[in-house]
């Protein structure tokens, strides 16, 4: 049973430097990753040099599944079987979710441009999709169908030609039918029953069976994340996702039941997840404390919730609700819920957050499953410089430059001056020979 939130951590913010105030709490998830990094790098190196043999060895050792090379790829017969096994009602839900996510990401598409910048000059930008991408979908106690959708739909919307999914198999060598169906419905080209760091390495370097891709996206264990870090540069990667987190900013108009439910929904992700309430209402704190205990009694993952709240649960009491936004910007949370009377007024002051949920009737799980934006968001304060997964993650841009002879002549002396100042005489010569 979770302790009351106030018995876990309650802090009074009286102004001053938000960074200093939150320094100790923000160090909560600092951990020694050296061992995980070493293990991941060993696996990556092994797969790079030994291909399928190494992948299958780790699949047997770590996932308990014994596969042959020709069993890694999900075949057409398995796809057909998956469609017969998926719950028909969930299949309809799945299709509605894909439709909403696709509609949102269609609005993110951008076009190239070409424009005149002066007499005889044209400059522009080409936008092209990345040709091949790999999507990693974590395994675990339940199939993360929503994560697959939130990663593959933006990729296909961007126009990725070859989209590959890898996900860990069960000990029986199979993957959940709903994952297979979701992959096919979103346009995935190939699905491989491979998980862990070995899957990242396989997609980064290619094996006899699994193709090399240009970019890899997707959350996973610390070993998966360390493997992505190890292969960066050989392939592109997106942000490196960490534990889930939510900050709820609430005033006296907030429902204690809603606030508690939103905090609990993040705490159940894992013991390293963080759930933070920032409020200017002391009476709300007491009500939320009671609601957390009451609601947690009926939740299946209450032991995980208890551990998460004990380590990473926090209530901050502020005198002014505007101070709540200042503190939130320092935390740069994955999810920010504005459960206040005028959420739009606070939204204009928010700088750092992966996703913002406005008002009392917008629970965070809407964003996890059905709203439309991808739920793959920056974590661990990286919303200061990273963005949610979007169409932008699956495109690349190319500059286009055209000068005619007259336009080149007009600025040739300036270019020659730059080149000679930098000691690059061949650069200067390439302009000078054109007269």
| Interatomic CA distance for residues 222 and 229, integer angstroms | 10
Tell me which residue has tokens 């499953």. Answer: 369
Q: CB count, 10 Å around CB of 337?
A: 30
Residue 319 token pair: 């005198």
- What is the rounded CA–CA span in Å between residue 223 and residue 242? 12
Give backbone dihedrals phi and psi of 386, rounded to 5 degrees, phi first.
-110, 160
Distances (CA, A) of 267 to 33, 310, 363: 22, 10, 14
Beta partners for residue 217, in sequence order:
135
| Contact between residue 388 and residue 374 where contact means Cβ atoms under 8 Å apart | yes
Lookup: tokens for 409: 């002549």
Count the alpha carbons within 13 Å of 72 in the hemisphere toward its beta carbon: 26
Q: Which are the contacts of 214, defined by CB distance < 8 A and separation ≥ 6?
A: 130, 131, 132, 133, 235, 236
Which ranges of 332-424 does DSSP label H, i.e. alpha helix?
343-347, 365-369, 405-421
Q: What tokens does 317 get?
A: 């009491």
Burial class (CB in 10 A: 0-12, 13-18, 19+), 135: buried
Name the residue among 164, 160, 188 with its Cα closest to residue 396: 160
Between CA 151 and CA 183 the distance in angstroms is: 10
- CB of 46 closer than 8 Å to CB of 61: no
**Which sequence positions are flagged as catalytic?**
334-335
Distance CA 186, CA 174 (A): 20
Half-sphere exposure of 143 (CA within 13 A, CB side): 18
User: What phi and psi values does residue 302 have, to the nearest 5 degrees?
Assistant: -65, -30
Instruction: Name the β-bridge partners of 166.
Output: 136, 192
At which residue do the structure tokens 């508690």 appear? Answer: 260
**Beta carbons of 321 and 278 less than 8 angstroms apart:** no
Cα distance between residue 171 and residue 139, in whole Å: 12
């Amino acid at each position: 049973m979770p302790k009351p939130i106030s018995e876990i951590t309650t802090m009074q913010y009286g102004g001053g430097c938000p960074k200093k105030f939150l320094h100790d709490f923000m160090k909560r998830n600092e951990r020694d990753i050296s061992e995980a990094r070493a293990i991941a790098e060993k696996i990556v190196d092994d797969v790079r040099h030994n291909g399928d043999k190494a992948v299958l060895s780790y699949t047997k050792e770590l996932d308990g599944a014994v596969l042959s090379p020709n069993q890694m790829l999900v075949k057409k017969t398995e796809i057909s079987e998956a469609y017969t096994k998926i719950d028909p009602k969930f299949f309809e839900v799945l299709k509605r979710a894909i439709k909403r996510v696709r509609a949102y990401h269609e609005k993110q598409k951008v076009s190239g441009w070409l424009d005149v910048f002066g007499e005889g000059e044209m400059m522009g930008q080409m936008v092209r999709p990345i040709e091949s991408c790999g999507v990693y979908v974590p395994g675990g106690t339940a199939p993360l169908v929503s994560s697959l959708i939130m990663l593959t739909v933006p990729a296909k919307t961007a126009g990725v030609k070859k989209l590959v999914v890898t996900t860990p198999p069960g000990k029986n060598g199979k993957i959940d039918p709903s994952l297979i169906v979701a992959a096919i419905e979103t346009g995935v080209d190939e699905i491989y029953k491979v998980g862990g760091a070995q899957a990242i390495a396989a997609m980064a370097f290619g094996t006899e069976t699994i193709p090399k891709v240009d970019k890899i996206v997707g959350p996973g264990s610390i070993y998966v994340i360390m493997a992505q870090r190890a292969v960066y540069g050989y392939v592109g990667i997106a942000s490196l996702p960490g534990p889930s987190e939510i900050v709820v900013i609430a005033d006296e108009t907030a429902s204690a039941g809603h606030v508690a439910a939103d905090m609990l929904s993040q705490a159940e992700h894992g013991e390293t997840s963080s759930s933070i309430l920032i409020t200017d209402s002391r009476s709300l704190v007491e009500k939320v404390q009671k609601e957390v205990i009451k609601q947690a009694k009926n939740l299946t993952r209450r032991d995980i919730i208890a551990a998460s709240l004990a380590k990473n649960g926090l209530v901050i009491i502020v005198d002014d609700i505007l101070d709540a936004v200042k503190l939130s910007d320092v935390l740069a949370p994955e999810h920010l819920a504005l459960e206040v009377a005028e959420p739009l007024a606070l939204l204009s002051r928010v700088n750092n957050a992966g996703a913002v949920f406005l008002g009392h009737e917008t629970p965070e799980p809407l964003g996890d499953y059905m709203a439309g934006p991808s739920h793959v968001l920056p974590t661990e304060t990286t919303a200061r410089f990273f963005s949610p997964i979007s169409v932008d993650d699956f495109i690349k841009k190319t500059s286009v430059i055209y000068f005619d002879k007259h336009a080149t002549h007009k600025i040739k002396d300036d270019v020659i001056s730059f080149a000679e100042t930098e000691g690059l005489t061949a650069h200067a010569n390439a302009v000078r020979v054109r007269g």
